[in-house]
Amino acid sequence: MDAVLSPAAPADLRRVAEIFAHYVETSVATFETAPPTVADWQHRMGTLAGLGLPFLVARDGGEVAGYAYASPWRPKPAYRHTVEDTVYLDPGMTGRGLGRALLGELLARCAQAGARQVVAVIADAGAESEPSIALHRSLGFTDAGRLTAVGRKQGRWIDTVLMQRGLAA
């Protein structure tokens, strides 16, 4: 993998929106049903920056090929040290180690930001979900549970797999 990882910049958000729109429109990897606009992504980036949480991009040949960010797990104050990770890659960039690089760097930056726990919520779509589950396991996440039939998309009920990883204090 020759990609360069860096904090996301406003100029990256058009590509971030395009990458995510692919998954919104073609898969159940996200439970979103309408792709967020670039303005929505700008708002999200500002919110995460205000919370001191990382939002990273991976560039391959200068083009954004994937992204990762951490967001609050829940809004209640007692959860303030727990975050949820999000990682998406351009569909043509999978299987090259890019997701592992992004998630690994995200975990390091979450620890620097004061997070103690990282939760992954992965839509269980059978074989489609296995790469994400394997990625998280490879970086020390363990199974934390399953929520059955909590999402409905593309005419079917979908479970979510919960995974969790502690970060060094």
The token pair at 56 is 């990273």
Other C-beta atoms within 10 Å of 95: how many?
9
Residues 41, 49 contacting (CB under 8 angstroms): no
CATH architecture of 4-166: 3-Layer(aba) Sandwich (3.40)
Q: Compute how many other C-beta atoms are within 10 angstroms of the C-beta atom of residue 155.
A: 5
Per-residue model confidence (pLDDT) at position 125:
84
| pLDDT of amino acid 6 | 97
DSSP state of 73: S
Q: What is the pLDDT of residues 125-150, one digit of tens each?
A: 888 889 999 999 999 999 999 999 99
Q: Are strands 4-7 and 117-124 parallel, antiparallel or unpaired?
A: unpaired
- The total of other beta-carbon atoms located within 10 Å of residue 122's CB is 19
Please report which helix (H) or strand (E) contains residue 107, including its range.
Answer: helix 98-112
Q: In which element (H, E) is residue 153 found?
A: strand 142-153
Place of tokens 């994400």: 132
Could you identify the residue written with the tokens 């351009």? 90
pLDDT given at position 168: 79
User: pLDDT tens digit string along 62-76?
Assistant: 999 999 999 999 999
